[in-house]
């Protein structure tokens, strides 16, 4: 397996805030080149300036792209190949959610979520993976969620998209073993980022009912994720509370999980 202490080039999607920003900050000392991708170019440029100041030997480039658009994703992949900023570490972090009943959801938001959480992650991996295979080195981090192992009413599509991410990561990891490429599924529980505000509907400000003590700081999530990558782990649930919850969910029969989720207080 490759030496995870250093990568020639890392790409982080959703790098303008939250976990993506934190991944960029923590991975910067371990790369020669760093590619930051998100829609908000000004936020990316601000982050790039901070990283350049702290790590002047790291070449940082910014790509403003709407990952819901297939054309934007292809332009990004082509530009990376043409410029020589081909990642040997791909961090598929970009994602979005939607709190509330599926029947009353806005289809445009659901469609955007499917495109970002599933299509964009799969498309960028497909576009860039052949270059990793040719070099027989590299790693992929797919940011999934604790929700990927649990059906969640009022969060149904998000949980389903993350189930895809976790399953895809596990399967891809097996395929890529012979090419010395590691794949890690990061499955955090609740994290205080902009994600909750974007996922919450305007008419449902009380939708998120997670207890404060269950949150894990984004710094800890990224730190444990990179440590898991160094150890060539297949999956990580950052934070002891999240890890315990994952163990309990995995051990519970689906019938019990249905009863628990059906009796769970709902704020919709």
Threshold 0.85, pTM exceeds: yes
Range of the domain at 142: 7-263
> In the numeric block, which tokens belong to residue 210?
């997670």
Q: Is residue 193 part of a domain?
A: yes
Q: Is residue 138 part of a domain?
A: yes
pLDDT digits (tens, 9 = 90+) for 50-76: 999 999 999 999 999 999 999 999 999
Q: Which sequence positions are flagged as catalytic?
A: 158, 162
Measured CA to CA, the distance from residue 39 to residue 16 in angstroms comes to 8
Q: Is residue 268 part of a domain?
A: no
Q: Is residue 127 part of a domain?
A: yes
Q: Is residue 128 part of a domain?
A: yes
Q: Is residue 63 part of a domain?
A: yes
Q: Which of 74, 82, 56, 73 is nearest to 13 (CA)?
A: 73
Measured CA to CA, the distance from residue 130 to residue 14 in angstroms comes to 22
Question: Domain containing 69 — which CATH number?
Answer: 3.40.50.720
Higher pLDDT, 80 or 208: 80
Mean pLDDT of 191-211: 58
Measured CA to CA, the distance from residue 181 to residue 138 in angstroms comes to 5
Q: Give the count of domains, the chain.
A: 1
Q: In the prediction, which pLDDT does 263 show?
A: 83
Residue with tokens 């163990």: 247
> In the numeric block, which tokens belong to residue 92?
């598929």
Q: In the prediction, which pLDDT does 1 show?
A: 40
What do you get for the CA distance between the two ends of the chain, in Å? 47
Over 90: is that where the pLDDT of 7 sits?
yes
Alpha-carbon dihedral 107, 113, 116, 118, rounded to 10 degrees? -100
Q: Is residue 1 part of a domain?
A: no
Confidence of residue 202 (pLDDT cuts 50, 70, 90): low
Q: Is residue 2 part of a domain?
A: no
Confidence of residue 195 (pLDDT cuts 50, 70, 90): low
Mean pLDDT of 1-21: 85
> CA 157 → CA 165, 184, 234, distances in Å?
12, 22, 24
> Three-class SS of residue 170?
helix
């Amino acid at each position: 397996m490759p030496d995870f202490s250093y990568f020639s080039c890392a790409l982080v999607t959703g790098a303008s805030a939250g976990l993506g920003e934190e991944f960029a900050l923590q991975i910067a000392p371990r790369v020669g080149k760093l590619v930051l991708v998100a829609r908000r170019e000004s936020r990316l440029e601000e982050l790039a300036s901070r990283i350049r100041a702290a790590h002047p030997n790291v070449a940082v480039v910014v790509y403003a792209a709407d990952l819901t658009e297939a054309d934007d994703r292809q332009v990004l992949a082509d530009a990376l190949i043409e410029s020589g900023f081909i990642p040997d570490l791909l961090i598929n972090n970009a994602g979005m959610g939607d709190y509330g009943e599926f029947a009353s959801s806005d289809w445009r938001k659901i469609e955007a979520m499917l495109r970002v959480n599933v299509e964009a992650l799969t498309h960028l991996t497909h576009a860039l993976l052949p270059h990793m295979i040719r070099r027989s080195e590299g790693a992929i981090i797919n940011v999934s969620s604790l929700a990927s192992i649990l059906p969640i009413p009022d969060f149904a599509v998000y949980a389903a998209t993350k189930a895809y991410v976790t399953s895809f990561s596990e399967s891809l990891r097996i395929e890529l073993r012979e090419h010395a490429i590691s794949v890690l599924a990061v499955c955090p529980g609740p994290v205080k980022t902009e994600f909750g505000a974007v996922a919450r509907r305007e008419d449902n400000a009380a939708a998120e009912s997670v207890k404060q003590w269950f949150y894990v700081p984004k710094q800890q999530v990224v730190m444990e994720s990179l440590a898991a990558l160094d150890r060539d782990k297949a999956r990580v649930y950052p934070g002891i509370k999240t890890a315990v919850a994952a163990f309990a969910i995995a051990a519970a029969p689906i019938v019990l999980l249905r009863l628990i989720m059906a009796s769970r207080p709902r704020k919709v």
